[in-house]
Amino acid sequence: MSTGTKGYGEFKQGWPVVLAAMLGIGLGLSPVPIYTTGALAPHLAQAFGWGFGEIMAGLTVMTFTVLIASPVVGLLADRYGVRPVALSSVVLFGLSFMGFAFSNGSLPLYYATWAVMAVAGAGTLPVTWTRAVNNRFEVRKGLALGLALLGTGLFGYMVKPLTAWLVVEFGWRGAYVAIGALPLLLALPVGWFFFKDIGEGKETVSERRVRQAAQQAATPGLTLGQVFRQWKFWVLGVAFVLISFAVGGSIPNMENILKHAGFGADDIVWLASLIGLSVIVGRIAGGWLIDRFWAPGVAFIFLAIPALAYWHLAGGGTDVTVTAISILVIGFAAGLEYDLMAFLVARYFGMKAYGGAYGALYGFFALGAGLGPVVFGAAFDKTGSYVQPLHVSAVMLLVAAAMLLTLGRYRKFEASPAVA
């Protein structure tokens, strides 16, 4: 059977899982707070007198909570299956996000809501959804992952104008409630009917545990202990801290970056929304490319070019065309990062401990993504400018891109006789 025919067969059987993963990830913990905080921050600042650094610190609280929660979620998914972990977390995440509507000016309460949301929503992280996608796809693994992670771009493209409209119509509290309802209304029902990992079906608890234990023992790849002893794991960890700091730091602050560059309100809305649009392109193009070319080489190009965009944004100015291009290439980098992580874990460490390995790497990613926004916000509060964090982010992207080139060729893992 040809590669093209196999790829078609994979999508014919696996498209429901990809669709469910797309909605689950797109309306989950990884993109929703990042894309909404920048739009809602001015209203929180006006209502309670908080600084941007204080508001963005919520992302840092979420980060350190996720550092603990994400590996645990990965291990739970390995042990009990991704379906119950993901679907229960969708419900808890949506409800906890609505909790921001009850903010009363107390920063400790505000930060506590971030922590609760991080624990409740950790099961909506890509670690759960991408495991099922990875298990169903081999020939078109990169493209399938790109499509599954497309939800972050779709949400990012739509949420900024949606949030602005919700605030006008219902106030910022109403916006929090409406956005928190989206996972319950969209991701949960689709996931309930369509999201199933290979082997999951109607079976008793004991039967499921026996099947999962046998499947885990026979799955090709490294154990979690072996993964942690691989130098490539630590290279990936450091690289993803740098990538997520640079990309994640700028996105929630993009509206304010553009505002202090001199753009008007109308230009800011559509320019900032380009991030989500370019994430969509980055997901599809990146997934297509890493299926056909060496993934670290593809990543080098996707990460090195946005470094130039940061230098342009740091220089200020209101050239709409150049600024739009700069935002687009930053979005391309954001579009590649999640599916790149999932792809590299599968190719370099195998699927035996995929959940634990991905969860641990996501902890590194979350560290940078959580620190980036607050450092950007604190720098602005102190200097009234984003020049310094933008320059630092440009250097970080170049260093991370170079680190990925050291990974070498993919590792091949043979399935055990039990699988055959």
- Determine the angle formed by the axes of helices 126-136 and 320-349, rounding to 10 degrees: 60
Task: Please report the sign of the dihedral spanned by the C-alpha atoms of residue 263, residue 264, residue 265, residue 266.
Answer: negative
For residue 367, what pLDDT band results from cuts at 50, 70 and 90?
A: confident
For residue 414, what pLDDT band results from cuts at 50, 70 and 90?
A: low
If we measure between CA atoms, which residue out of 149, 117, 109 comes closest to residue 23? 149
201-216 pLDDT tens trace: 555 556 555 655 565 5
Q: What angle do CA 397, 403, 405 make, to 5 degrees?
A: 110
pLDDT above 70: residue 326: yes
Q: What angle do CA 194, 151, 78 make, to 5 degrees?
A: 55
Q: What's residue 171's pLDDT?
A: 94
Contacts 24+ apart (CB under 8 A), 208-213: 208/81, 212/79, 212/80, 212/81
pLDDT above 60: residue 125: yes
More confident residue, 392 or 212: 392
DSSP letter for each residue of 276-325: HHHHHHHHHHHHHHHHHS-HHHHHHHHHHHHHHHHHHHHH----HHHHHH
Instruction: Please compute the mean of the pLDDT values over residues 295-320 and round it to a whole number.
Output: 87
Helices (H) and strands (E) in the chain, counts: 18, 0
For residue 231, what pLDDT band results from cuts at 50, 70 and 90?
A: very high
For residue 157, what pLDDT band results from cuts at 50, 70 and 90?
A: confident
Q: What's residue 71's pLDDT?
A: 76
- Break the chain into its structural domains and give their ranges: 11-404
Q: What's residue 212's pLDDT?
A: 55
Task: Please report the sign of the dihedral spanned by the C-alpha atoms of residue 282, residue 284, residue 290, residue 293.
Answer: negative
Of the listed ranges 56-70, 78-92, 197-211, 279-293, the least confidently predicted one is 197-211
Q: Which of 80-94, 217-231, 332-346 has the highest mean pLDDT?
A: 80-94
If we measure between CA atoms, which residue out of 22, 43, 41 comes closest to residue 33? 41
More confident residue, 94 or 272: 94
DSSP letter for each residue of 116-174: HHHHHHGGGSHHHHHHHHHHH-STTHHHHHHHHTHHHHHHHHHHHHHHHHHHHHHHHHH
Q: Any bridge partners for residue 350, and if so which?
A: 221
Alpha-carbon distance 152 to 154, whole Å? 6
Alpha-carbon distance 245 to 369, whole Å? 5
More confident residue, 215 or 181: 181
CB atoms inside a 10 Å sphere around CB 410: 14
- What residues contact 220, with CB distance under 8 A and at least 6 apart? 350, 351, 352, 413, 414, 415, 416, 419
Q: What is the CATH number of domain 11-404?
A: 1.20.1250.20
If we measure between CA atoms, which residue out of 118, 124, 114 comes closest to residue 186? 124
More confident residue, 213 or 122: 122
pLDDT above 70: residue 91: yes
Mean pLDDT, the chain, as a whole number?
A: 84
Token digits of residue 193? 């009917």
Percentage of the chain exceeding pLDDT 90: 33
- What residues contact 212, with CB distance under 8 A and at least 6 apart? 79, 80, 81, 199
Instruction: Please compute the mean of the pLDDT values over residues 11-24 and round it to a whole number.
Output: 86
Alpha-carbon distance 370 to 355, whole Å? 21
Q: What's residue 419's pLDDT?
A: 42
Q: With beta carbons less than 8 A apart as the criterion, state whether 250 and 112 touch.
A: no
- What residues contact 407, with CB distance under 8 A and at least 6 apart? 232, 235, 236, 296, 344, 348
20-55 pLDDT tens trace: 999 999 899 988 888 888 889 889 999 999 988 899
For residue 161, what pLDDT band results from cuts at 50, 70 and 90?
A: confident
Assign residue 201 a region: left if phi > 0, alpha if psi is -120 to 50, beta otherwise?
A: beta
More confident residue, 420 or 260: 260
More confident residue, 241 or 285: 241
Instruction: Please compute the mean of the pLDDT values over residues 250-269 and round it to a whole number.
Output: 83
